[in-house]
Chains A and B, each alone.
Chain A
């Protein structure tokens, strides 16, 4: 045990949801902060991406580093999480976040609207697993 109190699963999940929105909106300082929310060994699966899961903090760091370039289109401006509902479960490590990522849109591009449901397992303040149900937005 460390002397500091680890953030709760709820805090960690909200921090992830918010940080991803900021990253997509262009804040590259989020890359390291987001990777730091995960355990060294983790297991992250994206729905709709049949690729191999992300299994380490390093893989996630590389993934997050690619995000700003992928999501630079105007419709991602002002990207933020809206309508957040967090569900605590009978398993103290397991938490579910429903939310919608929205963007402002720009000119001819309609506003972004991306419903998500992420199921996290958080241990000692770090994400050790998640299943991220979201349709592809890239």
Chain B
């Protein structure tokens, strides 16, 4: 039984939260959520190039881990709304990364449109307010 798109998304945000909290061992586990050939783009981040391979994802997550050395404790995905589309491979996930208190803490709204095949992400458009 392969991992469903929803389970893949849930594992992604769980592991990203662990990564930014300082668990750099998540880099490899995160990269393994993506297919060898994939296409991950960040439409709202100017000049961000798409990531096209698992190796590029691994480098991306390693870069996140090193930039956040020291870690953001307690970051978590909140208000998660996952919409299964009529295409069984595609989900739309609305959520917010939140750290600290609801008022005054870190709040990063996101929408990811993900295509998952055989339990691996083969395409994702990550609309993220972190560009703002």
- Number of B positions contacting A (CB below 8 A): 19
Indicate if the CB atoms of A133 and B109 lie closer than 8 Å.
yes
Q: Is chain A's interface secondary structure helix, strand, loop, or mixed overall?
A: strand
Q: Which residues of B contact A94 (CB under 8 A)?
A: 83
A68 at the interface (CB under 8 A from B): no
A84-103 contact mask (Cβ, 8 Å, vs B): 1 or 0: 01011111001010101000
A77 to chain B, nearest CB (A): 21
Bound state CA distance, A131 and B87, in angstroms? 22
Residue ranges of B at the interface with A (Cβ–Cβ < 8 Å) = 43-44, 81, 83-87, 90, 92, 94, 109, 111, 113, 125, 127, 129, 131-132
Indicate if the CB atoms of B85 and A115 lie closer than 8 Å.
no
Indicate if the CB atoms of A135 and B85 lie closer than 8 Å.
no
Q: Can you spell out 15 A-B residue pairs with CB atoms less than 8 angstroms apart?
A: A47-B109, A47-B129, A87-B86, A87-B90, A87-B92, A89-B83, A94-B83, A96-B85, A96-B113, A117-B92, A117-B111, A117-B127, A133-B111, A135-B129, A136-B132
Bound state CA distance, A85 and B129, in angstroms? 20
Q: Which residues of A contact B87 (CB under 8 A)?
A: 87
Q: Which residues of B contact A85 (CB under 8 A)?
A: 113
Indicate if the CB atoms of B83 and A133 lie closer than 8 Å.
no
Q: Which of B83, B87, B113, B132 has the most CB of A within 10 A?
A: B83
